[in-house]
Chains A and B, each alone.
Chain A
Amino acid sequence: MTAPASVPTHPQLVRVARLLGVAVEELPAELATVPADDLRTLHDQIGEAIHRGARARFAAVAGLAARLPAPAAGRLAQTFLPPVLAARVCEHLEPARARDLVGRVSLPYLADIAVALDPVGSREVVRAIPAPRVGEVAHLLLERREYVVMAEFARVVDEDALVAALEAASPHDLLCVVPLLEWNETLERVVAHLPSEQLDRIVAELDHEELADLALALDPVRFGPVIARVDEATVAALTGLLLDRREHAAMARLAAVLPVELLSATLHVVPPDELDRLRPLLTDEQREVLAGLS
C-alpha cells in the first residue's frame, strides 16, 4: 500500500525554494503571505535573473543539438549537461527536435529536466513530447512525489498527455495532486473521463476520510463518477464527514450528483439540525426529496 504523502500547502513557495536551491523553511516567512499568482511571477523572474547571462549559450547549445545526429545529441546531453541547464536549453529547442530527443535520453534524466523546466516558457516543447513518454515521466515524478511539478505541467500539456499523466497516478497520488491543479476545460474533460479501472481503484484504496478529501479537492460536482461506484453506507459516511467538517455547501454540491435514491437515503440519516443548515443550500428538486422524507 502507498505510504501517506502530504500535499504541499503552498506549492508556489516550493517552486521558488527549489529554484533558489534552499528548503522552503529557509525562505523569509513573510513570503508565504504573497498570493500564488504573484509567487509564480516572482518564480519566473528569479529564473530569468539566475540564467540571464547564459541565454546566448543555451541557445547555442540548442543549435548544436539541432545539428548533431539525434542519438549523439542525446548521449552528449545526458553525459555533459546537468538537468538544470538542459531545462534552459529546452526553451530554445525546436519542438520537433525535442520530440526526437526525449526518446534518446534516460527517463531519470528526463524527469530531472522536467523538475527544473519552466513548463509555460517551454510550452511548445512540452506539447511536442509524445503522450506515452509523458506518461512514463509522470510515473517517475509521482514515484518521487513531485506533485507540484506535476500540477505545473498539467497547466500546459495537451489532452492526450494529460490522460497519460493522470493514468500513471495512484489514488493516493491523485489525492496529493488534485488540490494543486488549476482547472481548465482540458482538465475537466480528462477528469470527467477517468478510466473505469482507475475509478475502481479510487473506491477500493481510499478510506472514507480520503474520499471526503478528494471530493473536496475535486469539488463534489466532479465526484459523480466516483459516487456512482460507492454503496449507500459510503455515501452516508461521506455525508457525515462533510457535515462534521462544516462543509455544508460542498455537501449540497455532492447532493447534486447523487442519484435520487441515494440522496433520499442519505438525507434520511442526516440529523435535523444539520438538515436545517443544509436546506437553504439545496435546489428546489432536492428540497422536494427532503420534504418527501418527513
Chain B
Amino acid sequence: MDPLTEVLGAEPPATVRALAEETRSALAARVHEARRATAALNADAVETALRGVPLPVRGLVRKTLGA
C-alpha cells in the first residue's frame, strides 16, 4: 500500500496521489514524525495534569483521561 495512504488511513486527493513516490514517502515520514510528537505532547499533558490538578478533582481527571 502507498505509505501516505497508509499513514493517513484514507486515500489522499488524486493530485496528491499523482506526486512522485519519493515525495509521498517524504510526506508520510513527516506525518509519522508529527504523530510521534503529538503522542508525546499528549502523554506529557496527562502527566502534568495529574501532578498539578488539585486533589478534590484529581480522581475525576484521572478517570477521565484513562490514566
Contacts and interface: CB of A to CB of B under 8 A. Distances in A.
A76 B66 contact: no
Given A31-B19, A63-B64, A85 B45 contact: yes
B37 A21 contact: yes
Nearest to B46: A57
Contact of B52 (A21, A50, A53, A79): A79
Nearest to A64: B64
Contacts of B22: 28
A150 to B, nearest CB: 23
Interface stretch (A37-45, A90-98, A227-235): A37-45
Q: Is the interface of A mostly helix, strand, loop or mixed?
A: helix
Contacts of B13: 34, 38, 41-42
Given A30-B19, A49-B8, A81 B45 contact: yes
**Chain B residues touching A, range:** 35 or more
A48 B57 contact: no
A27 B19 CA distance: 13
Interface string A172-211: 0000000000000000000000000000000000000000
Contacts of B30: 20, 22, 27
Contact of B26 (A28, A38, A50, A64): A28
Interface residues of A, number: 39
A85 B41 contact: yes
A80 B48 CA distance: 6
Given A41-B12, A49-B35, A63-B64, A84 B41 contact: yes
A57 B65 contact: yes
A49 B10 CA distance: 9
Contacts of B64: 60-61, 63-64
A5 interface: no
B49 A49 contact: no
Interface in A46-97: 46, 48-54, 56-57, 60-61, 63-64, 67-68, 72, 76, 79-82, 84-85
Interface string B18-41: 011011001100110111011101
Contact of B16 (A21, A27, A38, A64): A38
B20 to A, nearest CB: 6
B19 A57 contact: no
Given A19-B34, A21-B37, A46-B34, A38 B15 contact: yes
B12 A45 contact: yes
Interface of A: 19-22, 27-28, 30-31, 33-35, 38, 41-42, 45-46, 48-54, 56-57, 60-61, 63-64, 67-68, 72, 76, 79-82, 84-85
27 contacts: A20-B30, A21-B37, A27-B27, A28-B23, A31-B23, A34-B13, A34-B19, A35-B15, A45-B10, A48-B8, A48-B9, A49-B7, A49-B35, A50-B31, A51-B38, A54-B39, A57-B42, A60-B65, A60-B66, A64-B60, A79-B52, A80-B45, A80-B52, A82-B41, A82-B45, A85-B41, A85-B42
